[in-house]
């Protein structure tokens, strides 16, 4: 059984918490991730190191070596700490309601996008659904003549807007970083360390440990827990909007060239000219791997692997040495369209069972993972449901979340999934090779599971 990177990332973060607990249990003195010590080696968090040197207005060799060690790690692995080690995303995953996470993710998604596009040599990408005789010209007109081209222009404008807002989002953590360093220099102590959620998590762990070991009940437990609650659950998007440690790691990762997500020629944009955006919408850092200037944002990559796991073509890898990767067809995990199995004729005659069976959970995951989030089906359906969002949830096996989304806006998915002529509506627009994504079958299977 293949374990998802989400599970592996959670297990890794838990392992570091357990190591801290083991240090407390056996009094090893190796401390925490924020302040680590082993024999003659003593390392502190890179942000804490700079803050302490600024506060003391002196060069501290141990702090400098800690900073150099983190720089080396960031140069080799990038912001891997944020994706795999930091306890803050783990706490979010453990304690926030799944629906809240979904709503947050929905907010960061782009609006349902353009129709699937086709590249014509030397011209702008144009929609396959364009009604004009010279579609490239139509798409470039100030007032496009058909709605398909107008959608393309709108989606391009949204992409621009989204890029600008991601730039503004980076400004937040950098401003907090500047404030943290300046305040340390002014007040003479590392101010941000008092409220750093990473440090607070370990401080809370230590305080709880003391409570159980020596019955030391102090106010610090409530204070640490209160600040953590505020930063993780009230400020919500702490990592993207505020975290100065993440901003510092991004700066230190600018020279990272190894283990970078790399798109092979199997990518649907390159191989088939389709407007696939799955990896861009899956990336929590808003990195657009398929865009020429995507390299400038690689320093933000946390190596979380969400893009690679979402790609319907398996076109994203993390090579040790950078470069364009070729994938053979044998490595291409793409599957064919599959709907529920037809009931045997004899059973159809003698029972009231449905003539077509329901997709299993693994079939739902496999079929939804074929969606490239082009949005063509959204426009083909008179109700314009956010089908790409359903598919994104189903590929993560979040069937309940997907079903709740299907049930929004007074829709009747349990009926649509069975009787709607989907092969002439949404599925007729789906450009995925190997047969359209079985949207109706997935809709029916998801809702049946939840309402059963
Ligand atoms: S580019 Fe891929 S690995 Fe990097 S942060 Fe985005 S989803 Fe994660
Ligand atoms: S998800 Fe895969 S196929 Fe789609 S744009 Fe990204 S790399 Fe290309
Ligand atoms: S189901 Fe098909 S048409 Fe709809 S967004 Fe996915 S790939 Fe595009």
Residue-wise pLDDT for 191-235, tens only, equals 898 889 898 898 888 888 888 877 777 788 888 888 888 888 787
Q: Whose CA is nearest to atom 6 of ligand 1?
A: 283
Q: Whose CA is nearest to atom 7 of ligand 2?
A: 267
The answer to whether the CB of 279 falls within 8 A of the CB of 316 is yes
Q: Which of 81, 305, 310 to mutate to test the pocket of ligand 1 (most atoms within 8 A of CB)?
A: 305
- The closest ligand to the CA of 389 turns out to be 3
The answer to whether the CB of 79 falls within 8 A of the CB of 253 is yes
Residue 435 carries which DSSP code?
S
Per-residue pLDDT of 196-207, as tens digits, reads: 989 889 888 888
Q: How far apart are CA 269 and CA 277, in angstroms?
A: 9
Q: Is 439 in the pocket of ligand 3 (CB under 6 A)?
A: yes
pLDDT of amino acid 410: 66
Q: Which atom of ligand 3 is nearest to the CA of 116?
A: 8
pLDDT tens for each residue of the chain, 452 residues long: 677 888 999 999 999 999 988 888 888 878 788 777 777 677 788 898 899 899 989 988 888 888 898 999 999 999 999 999 999 988 888 876 554 444 444 444 443 333 333 333 333 333 333 433 333 333 334 454 444 445 445 544 554 454 444 555 578 899 999 999 999 999 998 889 888 989 889 888 888 888 887 777 778 888 888 888 888 878 777 888 889 999 999 999 999 989 999 888 888 888 877 778 888 888 888 888 888 765 568 889 999 999 998 888 888 999 887 765 555 444 455 578 888 888 888 888 888 888 888 899 888 988 998 888 888 899 888 888 889 999 989 988 889 999 989 988 667 888 888 888 998 999 999 888 788 999 999 999 999 888 87
- The closest ligand to the CA of 259 turns out to be 1
pLDDT of amino acid 433: 76
- The closest ligand to the CA of 312 turns out to be 2
Q: Which of 283, 309, 310, 319 to mutate to test the pocket of ligand 1 (most atoms within 8 A of CB)?
A: 283
Residue 310 carries which DSSP code?
H
pLDDT of amino acid 109: 43
**94 burial type by CB count under 10 A (0-12 exposed, 13-18 middle, 19+ buried):** exposed
* Sequence-distant (≥ 6) Cβ neighbours of residue 244 within 8 angstroms: 47, 173, 176, 177, 179, 180, 192
pLDDT of amino acid 125: 36
pLDDT of amino acid 327: 52
pLDDT of amino acid 150: 52
The answer to whether the CB of 284 falls within 8 A of the CB of 304 is yes
ipTM of the complex model: 0.79
- In the structure encoding, which two tokens stand for residue 172, read together? 């937040």
pLDDT of amino acid 73: 93
Distance 264 CA to ligand 3 centre (A): 22
Ligand 2, pocket residues at CB < 6 Å: 263, 267-269, 276, 278-279, 290, 311-313, 315-316, 372
Q: Is 283 in the pocket of ligand 1 (CB under 6 A)?
A: yes
Q: Which of 436, 441, 446 to mutate to test the pocket of ligand 3 (most atoms within 8 A of CB)?
A: 436
Residue 272: φ, ψ to 5°: -125, 0
Distance (Å) of CA 387 to CA 165, 273, 364: 25, 21, 14
Distance 311 CA to ligand 2 centre (A): 5
Q: Is 392 in the pocket of ligand 3 (CB under 6 A)?
A: no
pLDDT of amino acid 119: 35
The answer to whether the CB of 450 falls within 8 A of the CB of 397 is no
In the chain the domains, ranked by start, together with CATH numbers, are 5-103+169-255 (no CATH), 345-451 (1.10.1060.10)
Q: Is 173 in the pocket of ligand 1 (CB under 6 A)?
A: no
**DSSP E strands: which ranges in 331-417?**
none
The answer to whether the CB of 225 falls within 8 A of the CB of 202 is no
DSSP 3-state helix, strand, coil percentages of the chain (rounded to 5)? 60, 5, 35
pLDDT of amino acid 426: 92
Q: How far apart are CA 156 and CA 253, in angstroms?
A: 29
């Amino acid at each position: 059984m293949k374990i998802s990177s989400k599970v592996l990332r959670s297990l890794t973060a838990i392992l570091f918490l357990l190591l801290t607990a083991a240090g407390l249990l056996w009094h090893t003195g190796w401390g925490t991730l924020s302040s680590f010590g082993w024999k003659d080696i003593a390392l502190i968090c890179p942000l804490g190191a700079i803050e302490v040197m600024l506060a003391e207005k002196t060069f501290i060799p141990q702090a400098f070596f800690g900073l150099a060690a983190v720089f080396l790690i960031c140069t080799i692995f990038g912001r891997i700490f944020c994706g795999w080690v930091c306890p803050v995303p783990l706490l979010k995953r453990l304690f926030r309601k799944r629906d809240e996470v979904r709503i947050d993710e929905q907010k960061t998604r782009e609006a349902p996008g353009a129709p699937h596009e086709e590249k014509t040599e030397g011209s702008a990408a144009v929609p396959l659904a364009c009604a004009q005789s010279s579609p490239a010209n139509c798409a470039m007109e100030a007032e496009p003549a058909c709605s398909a081209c107008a959608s393309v222009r709108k989606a391009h404008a949204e992409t621009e807007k989204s890029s600008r807002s991601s730039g503004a989002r980076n400004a937040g953590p950098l401003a907090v970083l500047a404030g943290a360093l300046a305040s340390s220099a002014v007040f003479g102590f590392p101010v941000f360390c008092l409220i750093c959620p990473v440090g607070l998590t370990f401080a809370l762990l230590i305080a709880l440990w003391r409570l159980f070991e020596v019955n030391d009940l102090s106010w610090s437990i409530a204070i640490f827990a209160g600040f953590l609650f505020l930063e993780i659950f009230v400020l919500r998007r702490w990592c993207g909007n505020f975290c100065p440690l993440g901003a510092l790691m991004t700066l230190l990762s600018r020279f990272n060239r190894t283990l970078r997500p790399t798109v092979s020629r199997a990518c649907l944009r390159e191989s088939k000219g389709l407007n696939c955006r799955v990896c861009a919408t899956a990336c929590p850092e808003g990195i657009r791997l398929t865009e020429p200037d995507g390299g400038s944002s690689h320093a933000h990559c946390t190596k979380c692997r969400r893009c690679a796991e979402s790609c319907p073509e398996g076109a994203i890898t993390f090579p040790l040495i950078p470069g364009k990767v070729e994938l053979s067809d044998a490595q291409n995990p793409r599957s064919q369209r599959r709907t529920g199995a037809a009931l045997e004729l004899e059973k159809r005659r003698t029972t009231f069972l449905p003539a077509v069976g329901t997709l299993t959970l693994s079939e739902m995951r496999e079929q939804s993972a074929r969606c490239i989030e082009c949005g063509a089906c959204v426009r083909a359906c008179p109700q314009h449901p956010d089908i790409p969002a359903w598919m994104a949830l189903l590929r993560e096996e979040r069937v309940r979340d997907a079903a709740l989304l299907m049930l929004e806006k007074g829709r009747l998915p349990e009926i649509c999934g069975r009787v709607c002529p989907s092969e002439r509506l949404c599925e007729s627009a789906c450009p995925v090779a190997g047969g359209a994504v079985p949207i109706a079958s997935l809709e029916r299977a998801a809702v049946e599971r939840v309402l059963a």
